[in-house]
Amino acid sequence: MSQLQPARGTQDLLPDEMRRHRMVVETARRVAERYGFAEMATPIFEFTEVFARPIGETTDIVSKEMYTFTDRGGEQVTLRPEATAGIMRAILSNGLTQQAPLKFFYSGPMFRYERPQKGRYRQFHQIDVELVGIAQPQADVEVIAAGARILDELGILSRTELELNTLGDAETRRKYRALLVDYYNQHRAALSEDSLRRLETNPLRILDSKDRGDIAVNAGAPEFHRHLNDASRAFFDGVRRGLDALGIAYKINPRLVRGLDYYTHTAFEFVTRDLGAQGTVMGGGRYDGLIELMGGPAMPGVGWAAGIERLAMLIAEPPRLARPIAVLPVGEASEAAALRLSERLRRAGFTVDQGYSGNLARRLKRANKIDARIALLLGEDELKREAVTVRDLDTGEQSEVPMAGLEDRLARFR
Protein backbone atom coordinates (compact mmCIF):
# COMPACT_ATOMS: atom_id res chain seq x y z
CA MET A 1 0.00 0.00 0.00
CA SER A 2 2.69 2.46 0.97
CA GLN A 3 4.28 1.86 -2.41
CA LEU A 4 1.11 3.06 -4.10
CA GLN A 5 1.06 6.33 -2.24
CA PRO A 6 2.89 9.37 -3.53
CA ALA A 7 6.04 10.21 -1.59
CA ARG A 8 5.46 12.32 1.48
CA GLY A 9 4.81 15.95 0.69
CA THR A 10 4.09 15.31 -2.99
CA GLN A 11 0.70 15.13 -4.61
CA ASP A 12 -1.06 14.34 -7.83
CA LEU A 13 -2.75 17.21 -9.58
CA LEU A 14 -6.00 15.74 -10.88
CA PRO A 15 -7.92 17.75 -13.49
CA ASP A 16 -10.00 19.83 -11.05
CA GLU A 17 -6.92 20.93 -9.10
CA MET A 18 -4.88 21.31 -12.27
CA ARG A 19 -7.45 23.77 -13.62
CA ARG A 20 -6.88 25.95 -10.57
CA HIS A 21 -3.12 25.81 -11.04
CA ARG A 22 -3.50 26.67 -14.69
CA MET A 23 -5.66 29.65 -13.90
CA VAL A 24 -3.01 30.95 -11.50
CA VAL A 25 -0.13 30.44 -13.92
CA GLU A 26 -1.95 31.71 -16.99
CA THR A 27 -3.19 34.82 -15.21
CA ALA A 28 0.28 35.54 -13.84
CA ARG A 29 1.96 34.99 -17.20
CA ARG A 30 -0.51 37.24 -18.99
CA VAL A 31 -0.17 40.06 -16.47
CA ALA A 32 3.63 39.74 -16.14
CA GLU A 33 4.01 40.01 -19.90
CA ARG A 34 1.98 43.22 -19.81
CA TYR A 35 4.66 44.57 -17.47
CA GLY A 36 7.41 43.47 -19.85
CA PHE A 37 8.53 40.32 -18.06
CA ALA A 38 9.53 37.62 -20.54
CA GLU A 39 8.99 33.99 -19.66
CA MET A 40 12.07 31.78 -19.31
CA ALA A 41 13.02 28.54 -17.60
CA THR A 42 16.06 27.00 -15.98
CA PRO A 43 16.84 23.36 -15.15
CA ILE A 44 15.03 21.73 -12.25
CA PHE A 45 18.36 20.78 -10.64
CA GLU A 46 21.70 22.55 -10.49
CA PHE A 47 25.12 22.00 -8.99
CA THR A 48 24.63 22.31 -5.24
CA GLU A 49 26.94 25.34 -5.10
CA VAL A 50 24.49 27.41 -7.13
CA PHE A 51 22.06 27.37 -4.21
CA ALA A 52 24.27 26.83 -1.16
CA ARG A 53 26.34 29.97 -1.36
CA PRO A 54 23.83 32.66 -2.26
CA ILE A 55 21.00 31.39 -0.09
CA GLY A 56 23.29 31.14 2.92
CA GLU A 57 24.88 28.16 4.65
CA THR A 58 23.11 28.90 7.92
CA THR A 59 19.60 29.19 6.53
CA ASP A 60 17.15 26.36 7.11
CA ILE A 61 16.82 25.91 3.36
CA VAL A 62 20.48 25.06 2.92
CA SER A 63 21.20 23.41 6.25
CA LYS A 64 18.30 20.98 6.34
CA GLU A 65 15.80 21.36 3.49
CA MET A 66 17.67 20.74 0.25
CA TYR A 67 17.22 17.61 -1.81
CA THR A 68 20.88 17.02 -2.52
CA PHE A 69 22.43 13.90 -4.00
CA THR A 70 25.45 12.67 -5.85
CA ASP A 71 24.77 11.69 -9.44
CA ARG A 72 26.39 8.82 -11.30
CA GLY A 73 29.22 11.03 -12.42
CA GLY A 74 30.04 11.94 -8.83
CA GLU A 75 28.64 15.49 -9.08
CA GLN A 76 26.81 17.05 -6.13
CA VAL A 77 23.48 18.27 -7.46
CA THR A 78 20.40 19.74 -5.78
CA LEU A 79 16.74 19.91 -6.71
CA ARG A 80 16.11 23.65 -6.71
CA PRO A 81 14.56 24.97 -3.49
CA GLU A 82 13.75 28.36 -5.07
CA ALA A 83 14.03 30.04 -8.43
CA THR A 84 16.12 33.17 -8.03
CA ALA A 85 19.57 31.61 -7.69
CA GLY A 86 19.07 29.48 -10.79
CA ILE A 87 17.90 32.46 -12.82
CA MET A 88 20.91 34.52 -11.75
CA ARG A 89 23.17 31.61 -12.71
CA ALA A 90 21.48 31.51 -16.12
CA ILE A 91 22.08 35.25 -16.58
CA LEU A 92 25.78 34.73 -15.90
CA SER A 93 26.07 31.51 -17.93
CA ASN A 94 24.52 33.17 -20.98
CA GLY A 95 26.37 36.47 -20.70
CA LEU A 96 23.16 38.46 -20.33
CA THR A 97 24.63 40.99 -17.93
CA GLN A 98 25.35 43.34 -20.84
CA GLN A 99 21.67 43.54 -21.72
CA ALA A 100 20.28 44.99 -18.52
CA PRO A 101 17.61 45.63 -17.57
CA LEU A 102 16.44 42.03 -17.66
CA LYS A 103 12.86 41.19 -16.80
CA PHE A 104 11.89 37.56 -16.39
CA PHE A 105 8.75 35.62 -15.53
CA TYR A 106 9.03 32.07 -14.33
CA SER A 107 6.83 29.23 -13.14
CA GLY A 108 7.61 25.68 -12.10
CA PRO A 109 8.17 23.17 -9.31
CA MET A 110 10.50 23.68 -6.33
CA PHE A 111 11.63 21.15 -3.73
CA ARG A 112 12.25 21.46 -0.01
CA TYR A 113 12.57 18.60 2.44
CA GLU A 114 10.38 19.70 5.35
CA ARG A 115 7.36 18.55 7.30
CA PRO A 116 4.26 19.03 5.14
CA GLN A 117 1.33 21.11 6.31
CA LYS A 118 -1.58 22.88 4.73
CA GLY A 119 -0.06 25.02 1.99
CA ARG A 120 3.38 23.50 2.49
CA TYR A 121 4.67 20.61 0.42
CA ARG A 122 7.98 19.01 -0.43
CA GLN A 123 7.31 19.52 -4.09
CA PHE A 124 5.48 22.78 -4.56
CA HIS A 125 5.09 25.25 -7.38
CA GLN A 126 5.94 28.88 -7.69
CA ILE A 127 5.46 31.76 -10.03
CA ASP A 128 8.32 34.18 -9.96
CA VAL A 129 9.27 37.58 -11.31
CA GLU A 130 12.78 39.09 -11.44
CA LEU A 131 13.92 42.55 -12.55
CA VAL A 132 17.71 42.72 -12.81
CA GLY A 133 19.92 45.71 -13.51
CA ILE A 134 17.95 48.66 -12.12
CA ALA A 135 19.20 50.24 -8.88
CA GLN A 136 16.33 52.71 -8.51
CA PRO A 137 13.27 52.20 -6.30
CA GLN A 138 11.04 52.41 -9.38
CA ALA A 139 12.07 48.82 -10.08
CA ASP A 140 10.82 47.70 -6.67
CA VAL A 141 7.58 49.59 -7.23
CA GLU A 142 7.03 48.01 -10.63
CA VAL A 143 7.73 44.52 -9.32
CA ILE A 144 5.32 44.95 -6.41
CA ALA A 145 2.72 46.53 -8.70
CA ALA A 146 2.89 43.54 -11.04
CA GLY A 147 2.36 41.23 -8.06
CA ALA A 148 -0.60 43.23 -6.82
CA ARG A 149 -2.10 43.25 -10.30
CA ILE A 150 -1.82 39.47 -10.57
CA LEU A 151 -3.50 39.01 -7.19
CA ASP A 152 -6.20 41.43 -8.26
CA GLU A 153 -6.88 39.60 -11.54
CA LEU A 154 -7.06 36.35 -9.58
CA GLY A 155 -9.74 38.03 -7.48
CA ILE A 156 -7.89 37.71 -4.18
CA LEU A 157 -6.09 41.01 -3.67
CA SER A 158 -8.72 42.04 -1.11
CA ARG A 159 -8.00 38.92 0.91
CA THR A 160 -4.34 39.84 1.27
CA GLU A 161 -2.41 42.60 2.93
CA LEU A 162 0.90 43.97 1.68
CA GLU A 163 3.53 44.19 4.39
CA LEU A 164 6.60 46.28 3.65
CA ASN A 165 9.95 46.76 5.31
CA THR A 166 13.50 47.75 4.50
CA LEU A 167 16.63 45.90 5.47
CA GLY A 168 18.79 48.82 4.40
CA ASP A 169 21.96 48.57 2.38
CA ALA A 170 24.76 46.21 3.31
CA GLU A 171 26.43 48.73 5.60
CA THR A 172 23.23 49.54 7.50
CA ARG A 173 22.36 45.92 7.87
CA ARG A 174 25.81 44.99 9.17
CA LYS A 175 25.86 47.76 11.79
CA TYR A 176 22.32 47.10 12.95
CA ARG A 177 22.98 43.41 13.21
CA ALA A 178 25.95 44.08 15.49
CA LEU A 179 23.77 46.32 17.71
CA LEU A 180 21.13 43.62 17.96
CA VAL A 181 23.61 40.90 18.83
CA ASP A 182 25.00 43.08 21.62
CA TYR A 183 21.53 43.78 22.96
CA TYR A 184 20.37 40.16 22.88
CA ASN A 185 23.58 38.94 24.45
CA GLN A 186 22.74 41.14 27.45
CA HIS A 187 19.33 39.41 27.68
CA ARG A 188 20.28 35.82 26.96
CA ALA A 189 18.58 34.52 30.09
CA ALA A 190 15.18 35.76 28.89
CA LEU A 191 15.44 34.39 25.36
CA SER A 192 13.78 31.20 24.15
CA GLU A 193 15.80 28.22 23.02
CA ASP A 194 14.88 28.94 19.39
CA SER A 195 16.04 32.52 19.70
CA LEU A 196 19.36 31.57 21.27
CA ARG A 197 19.94 29.53 18.14
CA ARG A 198 18.78 32.40 15.94
CA LEU A 199 21.26 34.65 17.72
CA GLU A 200 23.98 32.55 16.11
CA THR A 201 22.37 32.10 12.70
CA ASN A 202 20.02 34.99 11.91
CA PRO A 203 19.57 37.44 14.80
CA LEU A 204 17.13 39.65 12.87
CA ARG A 205 14.71 36.75 13.02
CA ILE A 206 14.37 37.10 16.78
CA LEU A 207 12.40 40.30 16.15
CA ASP A 208 9.64 38.20 14.60
CA SER A 209 9.48 35.56 17.36
CA LYS A 210 6.10 34.39 18.67
CA ASP A 211 7.54 33.40 22.06
CA ARG A 212 6.16 35.53 24.93
CA GLY A 213 9.53 35.94 26.62
CA ASP A 214 11.11 37.00 23.33
CA ILE A 215 8.34 39.52 22.71
CA ALA A 216 9.08 41.15 26.06
CA VAL A 217 12.79 41.35 25.22
CA ASN A 218 12.01 42.75 21.77
CA ALA A 219 10.12 45.66 23.29
CA GLY A 220 13.43 47.15 24.34
CA ALA A 221 15.47 46.15 21.29
CA PRO A 222 17.10 48.83 19.12
CA GLU A 223 14.72 49.93 16.38
CA PHE A 224 15.92 49.47 12.87
CA HIS A 225 14.47 52.61 11.33
CA ARG A 226 16.54 54.75 13.71
CA HIS A 227 19.72 53.24 12.33
CA LEU A 228 19.11 53.57 8.62
CA ASN A 229 21.79 55.60 6.85
CA ASP A 230 20.71 58.43 4.54
CA ALA A 231 21.00 56.43 1.34
CA SER A 232 18.92 53.56 2.73
CA ARG A 233 16.29 55.93 4.06
CA ALA A 234 16.06 57.77 0.76
CA PHE A 235 15.66 54.49 -1.09
CA PHE A 236 12.86 53.30 1.18
CA ASP A 237 11.10 56.67 0.86
CA GLY A 238 11.31 56.30 -2.91
CA VAL A 239 9.61 52.90 -2.80
CA ARG A 240 6.87 54.24 -0.55
CA ARG A 241 6.26 57.29 -2.71
CA GLY A 242 5.94 55.05 -5.75
CA LEU A 243 3.43 52.75 -4.08
CA ASP A 244 1.49 55.76 -2.82
CA ALA A 245 1.38 57.22 -6.31
CA LEU A 246 -0.11 53.97 -7.62
CA GLY A 247 -2.60 53.74 -4.78
CA ILE A 248 -1.19 50.41 -3.59
CA ALA A 249 -1.97 50.04 0.10
CA TYR A 250 0.68 48.64 2.42
CA LYS A 251 1.49 48.32 6.08
CA ILE A 252 4.98 48.92 7.41
CA ASN A 253 6.05 45.86 9.36
CA PRO A 254 9.40 46.58 11.04
CA ARG A 255 9.70 42.92 12.01
CA LEU A 256 9.40 41.62 8.48
CA VAL A 257 12.70 39.87 7.86
CA ARG A 258 13.31 37.72 4.83
CA GLY A 259 15.07 34.47 5.45
CA LEU A 260 17.62 34.39 2.69
CA ASP A 261 21.00 36.03 3.12
CA TYR A 262 21.03 37.92 -0.15
CA TYR A 263 18.25 40.40 0.53
CA THR A 264 18.92 44.14 0.91
CA HIS A 265 16.68 47.21 1.08
CA THR A 266 13.09 46.36 0.21
CA ALA A 267 11.42 43.32 1.75
CA PHE A 268 7.72 42.65 1.27
CA GLU A 269 5.09 39.97 1.63
CA PHE A 270 1.48 39.69 0.60
CA VAL A 271 -0.10 37.80 3.51
CA THR A 272 -3.53 36.33 4.14
CA ARG A 273 -5.30 35.09 7.23
CA ASP A 274 -7.15 32.42 5.31
CA LEU A 275 -4.42 29.76 5.13
CA GLY A 276 -3.57 29.01 8.74
CA ALA A 277 0.10 29.13 9.59
CA GLN A 278 1.19 29.56 5.98
CA GLY A 279 0.00 33.13 5.56
CA THR A 280 2.58 34.31 3.06
CA VAL A 281 1.20 34.06 -0.43
CA MET A 282 3.81 36.12 -2.27
CA GLY A 283 7.14 37.29 -0.89
CA GLY A 284 10.21 39.01 -2.21
CA GLY A 285 12.56 41.92 -2.11
CA ARG A 286 15.77 43.45 -3.39
CA TYR A 287 19.00 41.48 -3.69
CA ASP A 288 21.66 43.93 -4.82
CA GLY A 289 24.65 41.84 -3.80
CA LEU A 290 23.56 38.50 -5.19
CA ILE A 291 25.03 38.47 -8.68
CA GLU A 292 28.38 39.72 -7.44
CA LEU A 293 28.32 37.07 -4.74
CA MET A 294 27.88 34.48 -7.49
CA GLY A 295 30.95 35.72 -9.31
CA GLY A 296 29.36 38.20 -11.70
CA PRO A 297 29.55 41.98 -11.95
CA ALA A 298 27.95 44.21 -9.32
CA MET A 299 24.37 44.22 -10.51
CA PRO A 300 21.23 45.04 -8.56
CA GLY A 301 18.01 43.04 -8.70
CA VAL A 302 14.56 42.79 -7.21
CA GLY A 303 11.86 40.13 -7.48
CA TRP A 304 9.31 37.95 -5.78
CA ALA A 305 8.04 34.40 -5.67
CA ALA A 306 4.49 33.24 -4.98
CA GLY A 307 3.22 29.80 -4.06
CA ILE A 308 0.86 28.41 -6.69
CA GLU A 309 -0.73 25.93 -4.24
CA ARG A 310 -1.45 28.74 -1.79
CA LEU A 311 -2.91 30.98 -4.48
CA ALA A 312 -4.93 28.08 -5.88
CA MET A 313 -6.48 27.52 -2.44
CA LEU A 314 -7.65 31.12 -2.32
CA ILE A 315 -9.15 31.62 -5.76
CA ALA A 316 -12.76 30.95 -6.63
CA GLU A 317 -13.74 27.99 -8.78
CA PRO A 318 -12.15 28.62 -12.19
CA PRO A 319 -14.47 28.80 -15.18
CA ARG A 320 -15.14 25.47 -16.82
CA LEU A 321 -13.37 24.69 -20.04
CA ALA A 322 -15.29 24.75 -23.30
CA ARG A 323 -18.19 22.30 -23.18
CA PRO A 324 -17.60 19.61 -25.76
CA ILE A 325 -19.81 18.37 -28.54
CA ALA A 326 -20.51 14.63 -28.30
CA VAL A 327 -20.53 12.76 -31.60
CA LEU A 328 -22.51 9.54 -31.16
CA PRO A 329 -22.61 6.87 -33.86
CA VAL A 330 -25.80 4.80 -33.81
CA GLY A 331 -24.93 1.33 -34.99
CA GLU A 332 -21.68 0.00 -36.43
CA ALA A 333 -22.42 1.20 -39.94
CA SER A 334 -21.97 4.83 -38.98
CA GLU A 335 -18.84 4.52 -36.84
CA ALA A 336 -16.41 5.45 -39.59
CA ALA A 337 -18.58 8.39 -40.60
CA ALA A 338 -18.74 9.54 -36.98
CA LEU A 339 -14.94 9.45 -36.70
CA ARG A 340 -14.66 11.54 -39.84
CA LEU A 341 -17.25 14.01 -38.56
CA SER A 342 -15.39 14.41 -35.25
CA GLU A 343 -12.14 15.14 -37.03
CA ARG A 344 -13.84 17.60 -39.36
CA LEU A 345 -15.32 19.54 -36.42
CA ARG A 346 -12.07 19.54 -34.46
CA ARG A 347 -10.27 20.91 -37.48
CA ALA A 348 -12.87 23.69 -37.50
CA GLY A 349 -12.07 24.53 -33.87
CA PHE A 350 -14.78 22.65 -31.98
CA THR A 351 -14.11 20.60 -28.85
CA VAL A 352 -15.40 17.13 -29.70
CA ASP A 353 -15.64 13.89 -27.76
CA GLN A 354 -16.64 10.57 -29.32
CA GLY A 355 -19.08 8.15 -27.81
CA TYR A 356 -16.95 5.03 -27.44
CA SER A 357 -19.14 2.04 -26.76
CA GLY A 358 -22.51 0.75 -25.68
CA ASN A 359 -25.98 1.48 -26.88
CA LEU A 360 -27.25 4.97 -27.52
CA ALA A 361 -28.58 5.43 -23.99
CA ARG A 362 -25.19 4.59 -22.57
CA ARG A 363 -23.41 6.97 -24.89
CA LEU A 364 -25.80 9.78 -24.06
CA LYS A 365 -25.22 9.12 -20.39
CA ARG A 366 -21.52 9.46 -20.92
CA ALA A 367 -22.02 12.63 -22.99
CA ASN A 368 -23.95 14.00 -20.05
CA LYS A 369 -21.16 13.16 -17.65
CA ILE A 370 -18.52 15.01 -19.64
CA ASP A 371 -20.81 18.05 -19.62
CA ALA A 372 -21.37 18.01 -23.39
CA ARG A 373 -23.50 20.89 -24.64
CA ILE A 374 -25.01 19.03 -27.58
CA ALA A 375 -24.92 15.54 -29.03
CA LEU A 376 -24.68 14.78 -32.73
CA LEU A 377 -26.50 11.53 -33.51
CA LEU A 378 -25.35 9.75 -36.62
CA GLY A 379 -27.13 6.57 -37.71
CA GLU A 380 -28.09 4.89 -40.93
CA ASP A 381 -31.11 7.15 -41.36
CA GLU A 382 -28.99 10.28 -41.09
CA LEU A 383 -26.30 8.82 -43.35
CA LYS A 384 -28.85 8.23 -46.09
CA ARG A 385 -30.08 11.81 -45.84
CA GLU A 386 -26.53 13.24 -45.46
CA ALA A 387 -27.53 14.87 -42.19
CA VAL A 388 -27.04 14.57 -38.43
CA THR A 389 -29.50 14.80 -35.57
CA VAL A 390 -28.49 17.65 -33.28
CA ARG A 391 -29.72 17.10 -29.73
CA ASP A 392 -29.51 19.90 -27.18
CA LEU A 393 -28.54 18.15 -23.95
CA ASP A 394 -29.74 21.01 -21.75
CA THR A 395 -33.23 21.32 -23.20
CA GLY A 396 -33.77 17.93 -24.81
CA GLU A 397 -34.79 19.55 -28.09
CA GLN A 398 -33.48 17.99 -31.27
CA SER A 399 -33.62 18.54 -34.99
CA GLU A 400 -31.98 17.21 -38.13
CA VAL A 401 -29.33 19.39 -39.77
CA PRO A 402 -27.68 18.78 -43.17
CA MET A 403 -24.01 17.79 -43.11
CA ALA A 404 -23.18 20.53 -45.59
CA GLY A 405 -22.51 23.76 -43.73
CA LEU A 406 -22.81 22.05 -40.34
CA GLU A 407 -19.98 24.19 -38.93
CA ASP A 408 -21.99 27.36 -39.46
CA ARG A 409 -25.10 25.92 -37.83
CA LEU A 410 -23.07 24.91 -34.77
CA ALA A 411 -21.05 28.12 -34.54
CA ARG A 412 -22.53 29.13 -31.21
CA PHE A 413 -21.31 25.91 -29.59
CA ARG A 414 -17.65 26.44 -30.48
Partner RNA sequence: GCGGGUGUAGCUCAGUUGGUUAGAGCGCCAGAUUGUGAUUCUGGAUGUCGUCGGUUCGAAUCCGAUCACUCGCCCCA
Interaction residues for RNA, span 325-364 (CB under 7 A):
330-331, 358-362, 364
Among 368, 370, 404, 411, binds RNA (CB under 7 A): 368
Label residue 389 exposed, middle or buried (CB < 10 Å: 0-12, 13-18, 19+): middle
Which range binds RNA by CB under 7 A, 44-52, 67-75, 194-202, 401-409? 194-202
> At its nearest, how many Å lie between RNA and the CB of residue 234?
26
> At its nearest, how many Å lie between RNA and the CB of residue 243?
19
Label residue 91 exposed, middle or buried (CB < 10 Å: 0-12, 13-18, 19+): buried
52 is a contact residue toward RNA (CB under 7 A)? no
63 is a contact residue toward RNA (CB under 7 A)? no
Site for RNA in 278-297 (CB under 7 A): 278-283
398 is a contact residue toward RNA (CB under 7 A)? yes
Long-range contact set of residues 62-69: C-beta below 8 Å, sequence gap at least 24: 64/113, 64/114, 65/112, 65/113, 65/114, 66/111, 66/112, 66/113, 67/111, 67/112, 67/113
Among 21, 175, 177, 205, binds RNA (CB under 7 A): 205
The contact mask relative to RNA for 211-230 (x = CB under 7 A, - = no) is: x-------------------
320 is a contact residue toward RNA (CB under 7 A)? no
50 is a contact residue toward RNA (CB under 7 A)? no
Task: Please tell me the distance from the alpha carbon of residue 154 to that of residue 36, in angstroms, as a whole number.
Answer: 19
Which range binds RNA by CB under 7 A, 119-127, 132-140, 238-246, 348-356? 119-127
The contact mask relative to RNA for 232-271 (x = CB under 7 A, - = no) is: -------------------------xxxx--------x--
124 is a contact residue toward RNA (CB under 7 A)? yes
Kindly tell me which of 99 and 359 has the beta carbon lying closer to RNA.
359
